Amino acid sequence: DTAVSQTPKYLVTQMGNDKSIKCEQNLGHDTMYWYKQDSKKFLKIMFSYNNKELIINETVPNRFSPKSPDKAHLNLHINSLELGDSAVYFCASSQTGYNGYTFGSGTRLTVV
Partner 1 sequence: DQQVKQNSPSLSVQEGRISILNCDYTNSMFDYFLWYKKYPAEGPTFLISISSIKDKNEDGRFTVFLNKSAKHLSLHIVPSQPGDSAVYFCAASEGQNFVFGPGTRLSVLP
Q: Interface with partner 1 by CB under 8 A: which residues? A: 4, 31, 35, 40-45, 48, 55, 90, 92, 99-106
C-alpha–C-alpha distance, residues 5 and 92, integer Å: 9
Kindly state the smallest distance separating residue 60's Cβ from partner 1, in Å. 14
Kindly state the smallest distance separating residue 41's Cβ from partner 1, in Å. 5
Q: Is the dihedral of CA 76, 25, 108, 57 positive or negative?
A: positive
Q: Give how far Cα 79 sits from Cα of 31, 66, 107, Å.
A: 24, 11, 17
Whether 34 and 66 have beta carbons less than 8 Å apart is answered as yes
Q: Tell me, what DSSP letter sits at residue 69?
A: S
Nearer to partner 1 (CB atom), residue 7 or residue 102: 102
Nearer to partner 1 (CB atom), residue 50 or residue 78: 50
Nearer to partner 1 (CB atom), residue 7 or residue 79: 7
Kindly state the smallest distance separating residue 92's Cβ from partner 1, in Å. 7
